[in-house]
């Protein structure tokens, strides 16, 4: 197994202290949160190059990669929801990077594509997930995440027309998310827990 000829690139320590709920919290690497800054990009490049010098020379690595690909090249289903005689779920084909949101009418119906993640992001790591269906089955609330992030944005799909409505709920945490549909689903109330506050919106 190859060894590392040098120490990893250094990381600058620049403590930033905040008081959260009366408790002092210090973050020594706050500057790395600015992912688009030249300093952060350089840090990522150096760390990646250092890791690649080791990982790319591991014996049998390519065989392991190919074997894992074989295990992942299967059709998958998850996030199932049922509204009336309609089933909503995520489906990923063997050659797809990310699953799509689909619908099936009846248990034996044909799978219909509702939301393709490629239509809602700029890269192959955009992910979508169905959250709630309106009581009348007209609207689907779904979440969009980029690059494995913990927070997402929330959108509404008009199911019959496959049209994504212009109303978008801001990026926030799913924890505590409690949408409420109004009469005939024409009114939609929600609360999204943002990083610093609670966002409430009525559509």
pLDDT digits (tens, 9 = 90+) for 61-81: 889 989 998 898 899 999 999
Would you say 156 and 188 are in contact if contact means Cβ atoms under 8 Å apart? yes
**CA 112 – CA 161 distance, rounded (Å):** 12
Helices (H), 3-152: 38-55, 61-72
Considering the domain boundaries, does residue 203 fall inside one? no
Is the pLDDT higher at 124 or at 59?
A: 59
Closest CA to 98 of 72, 125, 123, 76: 125
Closest CA to 132 of 176, 72, 199, 177: 177
How confident is the model at residue 167, as a pLDDT? 79
Would you say 112 and 102 are in contact if contact means Cβ atoms under 8 Å apart? yes
Considering the domain boundaries, does residue 100 fall inside one? yes
Asked whether residue 109 falls in the same domain as residue 27, the answer is no
Number of domains present in the structure of the chain: 2
For residue 125, the SS3 value is coil
Question: Which of 24, 48, 70 is at the close of a domain?
Answer: 70
**CA 124 – CA 117 distance, rounded (Å):** 8
What pTM did the predictor assign? 0.63
Considering the domain boundaries, does residue 53 fall inside one? yes
Considering the domain boundaries, does residue 6 fall inside one? no
Considering the domain boundaries, does residue 25 fall inside one? yes
How confident is the model at residue 172, as a pLDDT? 65
- β-pair partners for 157: 140, 164
Average pLDDT, the chain: 83
**pLDDT, mean of residues 161-172:** 83
- Host domain of residue 86: 80-171
Asked whether residue 96 falls in the same domain as residue 153, the answer is yes
Asked whether residue 112 falls in the same domain as residue 162, the answer is yes
Asked whether residue 96 falls in the same domain as residue 163, the answer is yes
Give the residue carrying structure tokens 């002092």: 24
**pLDDT, mean of residues 113-142:** 88
């Amino acid at each position: 197994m190859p060894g590392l000829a040098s120490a990893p690139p250094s990381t600058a320590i620049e403590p930033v202290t905040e008081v959260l709920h009366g408790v002092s919290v210090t973050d020594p690497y706050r500057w790395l949160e600015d992912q688009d800054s030249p300093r952060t990009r350089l840090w990522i490049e150096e760390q990646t190059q250092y890791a690649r010098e080791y990982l790319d020379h591991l014996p049998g690595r390519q065989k392991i990669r190919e074997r894992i690909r074989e295990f992942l090249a299967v059709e998958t289903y998850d996030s199932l929801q049922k509204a009336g005689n309609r089933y909503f779920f995520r489906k990923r084909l063997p050659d797809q990077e990310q699953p799509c949101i689909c619908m099936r009418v009846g248990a034996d119906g044909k799978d219909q594509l509702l939301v393709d993640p490629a239509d809602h992001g700029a890269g192959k790591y955009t992910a979508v997930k169905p959250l709630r269906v309106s009581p009348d089955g007209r609207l689907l609330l779904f979440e969009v995440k980029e690059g494995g992030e913990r927070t997402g944005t929330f959108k509404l799909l008009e199911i019959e027309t496959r049209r994504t409505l212009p109303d978008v709920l801001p990026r926030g945490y799913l924890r505590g998310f409690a949408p409420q549909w109004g009469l005939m689903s024409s009114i939609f109330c929600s609360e999204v827990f943002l990083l610093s506050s609670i966002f409430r919106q009525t559509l």
